[in-house]
């Protein structure tokens, strides 16, 4: 039986390209597992469900090795779990040399396949580390330039105090206060708490 695994790093990213590749293998919808989260580890719901379903002689199809994950040690462990423990096969579409259906009978063939997997897995994890470093550098530079992150703080001013007094005296409804101040209910209640302290 064929299984397909698709992963993107966030909910906003598209899965269409990977799903289109899976159609070429006539994978049933119930055997297509999709995660929309980071590949930093294998604690992913769809992946874990898939691993429980795969049996001996089944084949797992993935588009590229980084769709499986980005931690090269864990990719090696998962490959071993699938191919040695479960005795299923893995086919990486973008890297046919990693097709375990064609079991290399000689030591050299196995060595080359393992070496390629280790190299690609290392590159995937290294890229993840580079992305994290670039993000941290970007945030640091932005902060040095005075760019503020998060929601702007709402300041208590005389207009708020006047509206708050009207609200507490029950001369204005909450909806009227929010409309007048142009703030959310949560912000209004937070300002009330802040004012009391």
* pLDDT at residue 187 in the model: 84
Would the pLDDT of 103 be above 70?
no
* Reported confidence tier of residue 159, pLDDT bands at 50, 70, 90: confident
* pLDDT at residue 37 in the model: 86
Q: What is the mean pLDDT of residues 69-77?
A: 77
Would the pLDDT of 116 be above 80?
no
Q: What is the mean pLDDT of residues 165-186?
A: 87
pTM: 0.58
Pick the closest to residue 93 from 189, 187, 185, 2 (CA basis).
2
Share of the chain above pLDDT 70, in %: 86
Q: What is the mean pLDDT of residues 36-65?
A: 90
Where exactly are the structural domains of the chain? 2-129, 158-196
Q: Domain spanning 2-129 has what CATH number?
A: 3.40.50.1390
């Amino acid at each position: 039986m064929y299984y397909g695994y698709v992963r993107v790093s966030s909910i906003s990213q598209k899965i269409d390209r990977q799903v289109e590749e899976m159609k070429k293998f006539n994978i049933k919808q119930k055997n297509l597992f999709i995660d929309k989260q980071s590949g930093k580890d294998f604690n992913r719901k769809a992946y874990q469900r898939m691993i429980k379903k795969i049996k001996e002689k089944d084949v797992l199809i993935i588009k590229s090795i980084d769709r499986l994950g980005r931690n090269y040690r864990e990719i090696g462990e998962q490959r071993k779990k699938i191919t040695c423990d479960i005795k299923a096969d893995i086919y990486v579409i973008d890297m046919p040399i990693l097709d375990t259906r064609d079991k290399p009978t000689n030591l050299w063939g196995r060595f080359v396949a393992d070496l390629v997997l280790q190299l690609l897995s290392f590159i995937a994890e290294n890229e993840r580390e580079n992305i994290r470093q670039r993000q941290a550098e970007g945030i640091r530079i932005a902060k040095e330039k005075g760019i503020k992150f998060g929601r702007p703080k709402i300041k208590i001013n005389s207009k708020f105090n006047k509206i708050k007094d009207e609200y507490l005296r029950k001369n204005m409804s909450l909806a009227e206060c929010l409309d007048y101040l142009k703030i959310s209910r949560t912000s209004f209640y937070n300002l009330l708490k802040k004012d009391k302290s």
